[in-house]
Amino acid sequence: MRFPLLRLPLALLFIVPVFIGQAAVWGLAKRFGKVPVALLSVAIACLLGWAAYALYTRWVEKRPADELRGPGALKELGAGLAFGAVLFSSVIAVLALLGVYRITGLRSDLSVMVIPLCVSLAAAAIEEILMRGVVFRLLEASLGTWIAMAISAAIFGAGHLANPNASALAAVAIAIEAGVLLAAAYLLTRRLWFAIGIHAAWNFTQSGIYGLPTSGIPMNGIFVSSVAGPEWLTGGAFGVEASAVAFGLASAAGVVLLVIAGRRGRFIAPFWRRRGEGAPPVAATARSPAISGPAAAPSDP
């Protein structure tokens, strides 16, 4: 199992059951209530997701799960939460200035934010472990950063086609704006906390604060709001993350993070270039001690 591409299917066997279980548990909501099921969803995604990833890295890759270890985890998570919240609030600010987004009321019961918070945390945790910790990381170790980013972003976008009110345009928007942004967030630290924070804050700010659908799923937030305008500007029923404004701002943020990651030497060449140029193993390209473990994959396919 020394080749990263051969490890990918095995890694999916560890993580995908947790991903499916986290989504399937919502079928119990009618019987037990949404809040208990939402809390259970978070526990499955965060605790079982982390445990499954740690077991995989320990048993198969013979190393600790450095992508989810401290120190520095809280700092990276906090930075991601702030980044994601500011980024989506910037989208709302532009839409408000254009007269597209309007706040029509304010809910006094803060408990309405519990469901969006749980959904956001659960989705961010398990999806980042699966998409960036497994799919992107193992593809990158063989095919290089750019190809891995393109493939993982396409998979991430296509995965949202199963959401309510999804469309091909929405899937493309998610693939580019979120798939690239979150991969770039992982590249900066070679850990998952920054990407998890961005993902969770973007989703929660969208639904729990501004009262908008998240990836086609309507939820109540602290603000009662309305969106009106052409679909290319509002995102339609899928939500404003499929709008041109969200696409532009999130994509620009992703490019900025990629530039920073490139300047820090975080990019990995595909295996055939590393062979042809007599490049050292992937681990030698890592400049931060925090990335020496996960980046230590062999340079072969």
Is the pLDDT score of 215 beyond 80? yes
Per-residue pLDDT band for 47 (boundaries 50, 70, 90) equals very high
Is the pLDDT score of 281 beyond 60? no
What does residue 144 show for φ and ψ, rounded to 5 degrees? 90, 165
Q: What is the model's pLDDT at position 282?
A: 46
122-161 pLDDT per residue, tens: 999 999 999 999 999 999 999 999 999 999 999 999 999 9
Per-residue pLDDT band for 299 (boundaries 50, 70, 90) equals very low
Instruction: Give the pLDDT mean for 180-185.
Output: 97
Instruction: Give the pLDDT mean for 166-194.
Output: 95
Q: What is the model's pLDDT at position 1?
A: 55
Is the pLDDT score of 301 beyond 70? no
67-106 pLDDT per residue, tens: 998 788 999 999 999 999 999 999 999 999 999 999 999 9
Q: How far apart are CA 52 and CA 46, in angstroms?
A: 10
Q: How far apart are CA 56 and CA 58, in angstroms?
A: 5
Is the pLDDT score of 167 beyond 70? yes
Please, what's the b/e burial string for 42-61 (b: 16 or more CB within 10 A of its CB; e: otherwise)? bebbbebbbebbbebbeeeb
Token pair for 256: 């900025």
